[in-house]
Amino acid sequence: MPTTAPIGPSLLRKLGRRGLEWLFPADCAACETPLKNAPCGWFCEDCWRQLAAPYGPVCDLCGLRFESREITPASHCGDCIKAPPAFDRARVMAPYDGVAGKALRLLKYASYPAVARALVAQADLAQAPAELWRVERVVPVPIHPNKLRSRGYNQAGRLATALAQRIGVPMDDGLLFRQGPQLSQVGLRRAARQRNVRSAFRLAEGANVDGLRLLLVDDVMTTGATLSACARVLKRAGARRVMAWSVARQERS
């Protein structure tokens, strides 16, 4: 008598997703086309593919994208030449004005923390220098305790957890703390952003980073002031190298 092959969990998940698409049709959060056979629950295949597109050429230090394509690989932007950041190297995944920004708004404001895992899984890590991933710990940029209480989670922490799992190193969200008043960086120029975060972070009591290579993770990078402020605290505490990675770059402040 012929036997029927058992249905595996992956097939069940696929059938379940197709059923949900039929019962609760949704549109892409970027282009608003219907989500049919989409790679994730928020964006269509074409939009989601944009996240892995090449981002360069960029400043070799802070990762700022140059307008000109005729740039040597080791070039630095004007801001890094005038005032180098405290971190050793930074890279981002995509520009904020696009799918990455829409995905981050889902992560931060629409209570979809699972977006963090999807973003990190889609990131083309080979675009960044290999040095960025040769670290001992991944450290999320902390948010103010008031925001943590209201949101319930730190979006940078969700991203850092997913990235740490992907590159195979521990994530440590207890190294840095945010202190002082809750001040927004939105709309501020470079100098104001730097003043805003100058004393905003401190090392946790008893934390030891002496000689370690660390990777800072944040959701959005604009001028790099926040990442630089965190890196400065870690460097003063003895960290050997501090790299930085963000999902998106806000290229127009």
What does the DSSP 8-state code read for residue 210?
Answer: T
- Do 240 and 98 form a contact (C-beta atoms < 8 A)? no
Per-residue pLDDT, 6: 53
Q: Compute the distance between CA of residue 96 and CA of residue 188 in angstroms, rounded to an integer.
A: 17
User: Are the beta carbons of 218 and 156 closer than 8 angstroms?
Assistant: yes
Domain range enclosing 154: 39-249
Residue appearing with tokens 């036997």 = 3
The SS3 call for residue 124 is: coil
Beta strands (DSSP E) in 10-98 are 89-95
Q: Is residue 145, in this structure, part of any structural domain at all?
A: yes
State the pLDDT confidence band at 189, using cuts at 50, 70 and 90: low
- Distance in angstroms (rounded) separating the CA atoms of residues 108 and 143: 12
Residue 128 lies in a domain: yes
Question: What is the rounded average pLDDT of the residues 84-91?
Answer: 96
* Neighbour count for residue 171 (Cβ, 10 Å): 19
pLDDT band at 39; cut points 50, 70, 90: confident
User: Taking the model in full, what pTM does it have?
Assistant: 0.83
Strand intervals (E) in 44-194: 89-95, 137-140, 176-178
Does 15 reside within a domain? no
Provide mean pLDDT across the span 207-233: 95
Pairing label, strands 241-249, 89-95: parallel
Tell me what the mean pLDDT of segment 112-125 comes to.
94
CATH number reported for the structural domain that contains residue 244 in this entry: 3.40.50
Region of poorest pLDDT, from 47-51, 89-93, 217-221: 47-51
- 109 lies in some domain: yes
Question: Residue 167 contacts by C-beta under 8 Å, 6 or more apart in sequence?
Answer: 125, 133, 135, 138
* pLDDT exceeds cutoff 80 at 11: no
**Dihedral (CA of 143, 178, 85, 193) sign:** positive
Q: Name the DSSP class of 27.
A: B
* Position 12 in a domain: no
pLDDT of residue 156: 96
89 in a structural domain: yes
Domain membership of residue 29 (yes or no) is no
**Who wins on pLDDT, 23 or 108?**
108
Domain for residue 30, yes or no?
no
Number of domains in the chain: 1
